[in-house]
């Protein structure tokens, strides 16, 4: 995020970088927020009250969490062409329910990561990408970082993210 902010948006475009969507979980080193809700299962698209484990708890209802409502409000107001969502340790660019195959392939090539389908073992419900891709005009992609992050990779990834802004 810092490297991308340093590069800035391509001429004639805008860019917003949200460094952490889940500050509670980030501080605690876990995927859930302070209410023990997995924000990537709390969105409105295909939300379901069950999960395969407590770390994937989707919350008591769709968009029950303030973080979820905040990202929905922000993205509906800004209406971006591209949304990149970063997760860790999956090592790939997600093609599951992709909206723009050229964007997926181009970003994967530039990041030097494989294109993979991360279908959440059939439980991709309430995800930010799912909500965005079915309710907004732009395209959202989930990028799963590999376990090892180097300075060289970070530089390449920031350039790839910047490329995606101008792609669509």
Quick: pLDDT tens for 35-61: 999 999 999 999 999 888 888 999 999
- How far apart, in whole angstroms, are the C-alpha atoms of residue 6 and residue 165? 15
| Secondary structure class of 69 (helix, strand, coil) | helix
What tens digit of pLDDT does each residue of 121-158 get? Answer: 677 888 999 999 999 999 999 999 888 889 999 999 99
3-state helix, strand, coil in the chain (%, to 5): 40, 10, 45
Residue 144, classed as helix, strand or coil, is strand
User: 32: pLDDT confidence band, cut at 50, 70 and 90?
Assistant: very high
In three-state secondary structure terms, 50 is: coil
Section 2-21 average pLDDT: 94
Output the six-digit token pair for 167.
């792609």
pLDDT at 20: 93
What local confidence, expressed as pLDDT, does residue 34 receive? 95
Residue range 67-118, pLDDT digits in tens: 999 999 999 999 999 999 998 878 889 998 899 999 999 999 999 999 998 8
The confidence score (pLDDT) of residue 167 equals 87
pLDDT for residue 52: 80
The pLDDT score that the predictor gives to residue 120 is: 76
pLDDT at 96: 86
């Amino acid at each position: 995020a810092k490297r991308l902010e340093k590069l800035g948006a391509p001429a004639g475009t805008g860019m917003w970088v949200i460094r952490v969507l889940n500050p509670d979980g980030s501080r605690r080193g876990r995927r859930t927020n302070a209410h023990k809700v997995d924000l990537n299962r709390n969105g409105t698209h295909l939300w379901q009250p069950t999960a395969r484990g407590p770390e994937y708890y989707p919350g008591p209802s769709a968009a029950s969490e303030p973080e979820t409502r905040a990202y929905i409000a922000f993205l509906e107001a800004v209406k971006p062409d591209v949304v990149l969502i970063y997760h860790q340790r999956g090592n790939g660019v997600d093609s599951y329910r992709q909206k723009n195959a050229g964007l997926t392939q181009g970003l994967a090539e530039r990041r030097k990561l494989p294109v993979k389908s991360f279908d959440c073992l059939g439980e991709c419900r309430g995800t930010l990408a799912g909500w965005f891709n079915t309710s907004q005009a732009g395209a959202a992609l989930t990028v799963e970082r590999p376990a090892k992050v180097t300075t060289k990779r970070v530089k390449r990834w920031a350039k790839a993210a910047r490329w995606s802004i101008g792609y669509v």
